[in-house]
């Protein structure tokens, strides 16, 4: 059963001058944790806003829970939860007041659906009298998630929920999403962080308004077409420059403290490469074969 179906959706801004979403189609199954992965400006937020009935698509159609986003917006508004990328709760109301407010707006009460948010709410409950504007980034996100969940939505749209949140809170946040998934809620999440992509059931890699690939994270990395090597040396800049001049090189780029590179030949002669790099005046050279990550796949797709 599909929770969200998007068919050939297109959105332009500025009277057709800026193409934000370009003929995008995908579908999300019920109870799935689906990730939209892409850099800033890829069109993730536009897709979210169209699916949550805040933006009208120029072309194409989309349904959420079988309801059309243009004609049945009323049903969608009462059945989905949306957490915008920017913190959009009332900063001058307390945690408790925000939660009560949104529960009422959806025609429900906090106690009715408390079981859904309990796990998350207990973490911020000690501060329930504090105004939302005075909370830390991680706590704000937890509150926003509570507010988006309070009416027991069938589908949850989370637009870059972890941007600007510290690594520990990010990890916690994803654990919460996993637990929500167990409750049968469909979750669509967007993120610019590639490491988070691996935590989704399926991901769509998106760039310049186009979807490059949709698959499970494992399949995405497994389908990486070449052998990937991580190379380390004492000087990163010179290492990258040297790799570019290596005749067998296909592609190379910095990746943390290593440089990642792919080569034309099936099996790389590591001794030959090491010799080549030493000749260029580099030392402390380390070469190893590694499995591709989502980021590698993404970079590969971009080239």
Partner 1 sequence: MRTLRFLLRKEFRQIFRDKAILTLIFVMPVIQFIVMPLAADYEVRNVNLAVVDNDKSTYSQKLVSKVIASGYFKLQGYNSSFKEAFQLIESDKADLILEIPQGFERNLIREDKQKLFVAVNAINGTKANLGGAYLSSIIGNFNADIRMQLVQQPRFSQFPVIDVVASNWFNPALNYKVFIVPGILAILVTMIGGFLTALNIVKEKEVGTIEQINVTPIKKHIFILGKLIPFWILAMIVFTIGLILARVIYGIIPIGNLLVLYVFIAIYLLTVLGFGLLVSTFCDTQQQAMFIMFFFMMLFILLGGLFTSIDSMPYWAKLITRINPVRYMIEVMRMVILKGSGFQDVLPQMGVVSLMAVILNGWAILNYKKTN
Based on the shown chain and the rule CB under 8 A, indicate whether residue 105 belongs to the binding site for partner 1. yes
CA distances from 268 to 104, 252, 265 (A): 63, 14, 6
Q: Which stretch binds partner 1 (CB under 8 A): 73-81, 180-188, 201-209, 230-238?
A: 73-81
Separation of alpha carbons 226 and 224, rounded Å:
6
Q: Give whole-number Cα distances, 217 to 122, 191, 286, in Å.
A: 32, 14, 28
Q: Does 87 bind partner 1 (CB under 8 A)?
A: yes
Q: Which of these ranges, 3-11, 32-40, 72-80, 205-213, lies near partner 1 under the rule CB under 8 A? A: 72-80
Judged by CB under 8 A, does residue 53 bind partner 1? yes
Listed in order, strand segments (DSSP E) in 160-227 are: 186-191, 202-207, 210-215
Angle, helices 137-149/167-182, rounded to nearest 10 degrees = 10
Q: Does 71 bind partner 1 (CB under 8 A)?
A: no
CA dihedral 286, 289, 291, 297 (to 10 degrees): 80
Least Å from the CB of residue 148 to partner 1: 8
Looking at 25, 29, 88, 118, which residue binds partner 1 (CB under 8 A)? 88
Give, for 19, the enclosing helix (H) or strand (E): strand 18-29
Residue 67 lies near partner 1 (rule: CB under 8 A): no
Query: What is the smallest separation between the CB atom of 197 and partner 1, expressed in angstroms?
Result: 25
Shortest Å, Cβ 159 to partner 1 = 10
91, 118, 216, 265: residue in contact with partner 1 (rule CB under 8 A): 91
- List, in sequence order, every beta strand (DSSP E) within 33-151: 33-37, 59-64, 67-68, 80-83
Q: Which is nearer to partner 1, 70 or 226 (CB)?
A: 70
Instruction: For residue 136, report the phi and psi dihedrals to the nearest 5 degrees.
Output: -75, 165
Q: How far apart are CA 215 and CA 218, in angstroms?
A: 8
CA angle in degrees (0–180, nearest 5) for 7-208-64:
30
- Binders of partner 1 among residues 134 to 153 (CB under 8 A) are 147
Stretch that binds partner 1, among 97-105, 160-168, 195-203, 256-264 (CB under 8 A): 97-105
Give yes or no for residue 246 binding partner 1 (CB under 8 A). Answer: no
Of 22 and 97, nearer to partner 1 (C-beta) is 97
CA count, 13 A, side-chain hemisphere, 283: 0
For partner 1, the closer of residues 88 and 223 by Cβ is 88
Q: What is the DSSP letter of 219?
A: H
What residues contact 64, with CB distance under 8 A and at least 6 apart? Answer: 3, 4, 51, 76, 79, 80, 155
What would the x/- binding string for partner 1 be over residues 16 to 35, using CB under 8 A? --------------------
The owner of tokens 């003929």 is: 23
Segment lying near partner 1 (by CB under 8 A), choices 48-56, 164-172, 192-200, 202-210 = 48-56
Q: Is 78 in the site for partner 1 (CB under 8 A)?
A: yes
Residues engaged in binding partner 1 (CB under 8 A)? 52-56, 73-74, 77-78, 80, 82, 84, 86-93, 97, 100-102, 104-107, 147
């Amino acid at each position: 059963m599909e929770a969200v179906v998007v068919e050939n959706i297109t959105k332009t801004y500025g009277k057709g001058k800026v193409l934000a979403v370009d003929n995008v189609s995908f579908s999300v199954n019920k109870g799935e944790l689906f990730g939209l992965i892409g850099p800033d400006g890829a069109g993730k937020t536009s897709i979210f806003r169209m699916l949550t009935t805040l933006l009208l698509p120029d072309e194409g159609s989309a349904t959420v829970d079988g309801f059309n986003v243009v004609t049945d917006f009323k049903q969608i508004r009462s059945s989905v939860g949306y957490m915008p990328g920017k913190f959009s709760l009332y900063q001058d109301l307390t945690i408790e007041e925000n939660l009560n407010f949104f529960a009422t707006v959806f025609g429900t009460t906090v106690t009715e659906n408390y079981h859904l948010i309990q796990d998350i709410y207990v973490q911020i409950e000690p501060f329930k009298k504090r105004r939302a504007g005075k909370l830390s980034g991680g706590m704000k996100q937890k509150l926003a998630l509570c507010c988006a969940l309070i009416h027991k939505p069938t589908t949850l749209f989370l637009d870059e929920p972890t941007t600007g949140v510290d690594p520990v809170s990010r990890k916690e946040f994803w654990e919460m999403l996993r637990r929500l998934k167990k409750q049968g809620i469909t979750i669509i999440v967007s993120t610019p962080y590639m490491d988070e992509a691996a935590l989704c059931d399926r991901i769509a890699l998106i760039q310049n308004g186009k979807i490059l690939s949709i698959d499970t994270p494992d399949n995405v990395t497994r389908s990486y077409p070449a052998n990937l090597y991580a190379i380390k040396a004492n000087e990163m800049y010179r290492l990258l420059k040297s790799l570019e001049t290596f005749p067998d090189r296909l592609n190379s780029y910095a990746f943390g403290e290593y440089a990642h590179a792919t080569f034309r030949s099936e099996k790389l002669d590591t001794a030959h490469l090491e010799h080549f790099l030493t000749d260029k005046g580099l030392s402390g050279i380390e070469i190893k074969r590694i499995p591709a990550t989502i980021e590698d796949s993404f970079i590969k797709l971009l080239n």
